[in-house]
Amino acid sequence: MWPVREFGDFANIDIDKLLRGAEVQFAKAEEVQQSLAGLVGRAEDEDGLVSVEYAGGGLRDLTLHAKAMRLSSGELAEKIKQVIQEATEDLQRQINELMGDVYGEEDNPMKLVNDPEAALGQIKEAEAAYNRTFEDVMGELDRIRRRLDL
């Protein structure tokens, strides 16, 4: 039988801690999922002619005041597009706040969505860690193979 030290850091993994961490992450993901369903972005133009509600499924409500019909079709279309944009920004702000509340500002996954360079940096770090681990495991397996004369 090989001594435990032959397996490097794998022998020192705290499985209970790993499972507790996974449970916490699943609970956070469930909390986010339930809370996201209730978020609605809202916006209204400065004249009160167009109001919009925007949720995860898209445009939820569009209300046009009767006076909005006095605008040209082009002006009305521009107001509607602008208010929809503001409502989606409001929804995005709420999502960012929710994620910050649940995961904390430091671990907020929305930071990666809003900063592609940071996301790419984390991907590269994960790739490097994977490569190091793979090389360590393959090295250990090679040493075991040599010891067993395989």
Q: What is the per-residue pLDDT across 96-120, written as a single tens digit (0 to 9) for each?
A: 888 887 777 776 667 666 667 766 7
pLDDT class of 142 with cuts at 50, 70, 90 = confident
pTM of the model: 0.59
The count of structural domains within the chain is 2
- Residue 139 and residue 86 share a domain: no
CATH of the domain at 51: 3.30.1310.10
Asked if 50 and 63 count as a contact pair (C-beta separation under 8 A), the reply is yes
* Host domain of residue 128: 115-150
Helices (H), the chain: 15-36, 73-103, 110-114, 116-147
Can you read off the two tokens belonging to residue 47?
Answer: 């004249």
State the chain's mean pLDDT as an integer. Answer: 81
Task: For residue 7, tell me if it sits in a domain.
Answer: no
